[in-house]
Amino acid sequence: MGKEIKLKTLAKMIDHSLLHPTMTDEAIDQGCKIAKKYDVATVCVKPYAIEMSKNILKGSDVGICSVVTFPHGNSTTKNKCLETDEACKSGATEIDMVVNNGKVLGGDFIYVEAEIKAVNEVCLKNKSILKVIFENDYLQNNHIIKLCEICSKIKVAFVKTSTGYGFVKQANGMYNYKGATEEHLKLMRQHCSPEVQIKAAGGVRSLDELLKVMELGVARIGATATEAILEEARKRGYN
């Protein structure tokens, strides 16, 4: 893989993430302008910021992705569907939805499948696409494989590794997370049908990391380091 890849191809792999809980309207405005400048795939915003983002991005080719029930995914299925519908009607063309990991870990895959199917149907009705966030740091490989199989059966557009906020308590009492690991990306690509795309989120902060996950079959990343990644690509001669 070399410089035959176009800069635009790299940019259109990026969902520019504007999801930190402390983000002000000013920070969201600046983030949307960065996304517009680099012509990325989408800005990924919280539901209340959809209208604001839509106004800033007007006239650009940058889409709007909204997260729903973020970051923990613990709302009822009804509320997930309502939030998805409202986000789509407000202007989101992509939805990143977090699964109910308590249900996943408890083995209630009938519930999990029904919920993903219900949210996906709302997206399809609104001509939007669904990305299903697993939060892999909470899960074992058998859970990830089962989720891949469910998402393939339902034919969602994307599966996604993590929210970036799935912190796990460590032995020393501190909290940390791994995000998108090579092991999990390979596992997801192996167990999803070819039509289901992979989004890596959490830990992809450089051009080399973007190129690496691209080689693993990733079609989209969630990133806060968009500017640094694409400026490094320019410096290396991607055009």
List, by residue number, the catalytic residues.
96, 160, 199
Rounded distance, CA 107 to CA 165, Å?
23
Rounded distance, CA 31 to CA 232, Å?
18
Rounded distance, CA 136 to CA 117, Å?
20
Angle in degrees, 0-180, between the axes of helices 109-125 and 141-154, rounded to the nearest 10: 40
| Dihedral Cα 99, 77, 70, 44, nearest 10 deg | 90
Beta strands in 74-183 (DSSP E): 94-98, 129-133, 158-160, 168-169, 175-176
Q: Which of 142, 161, 148, 159 is nearest to 203 (CA)?
A: 161
Residue type, position 127, single letter: K
DSSP 8: H
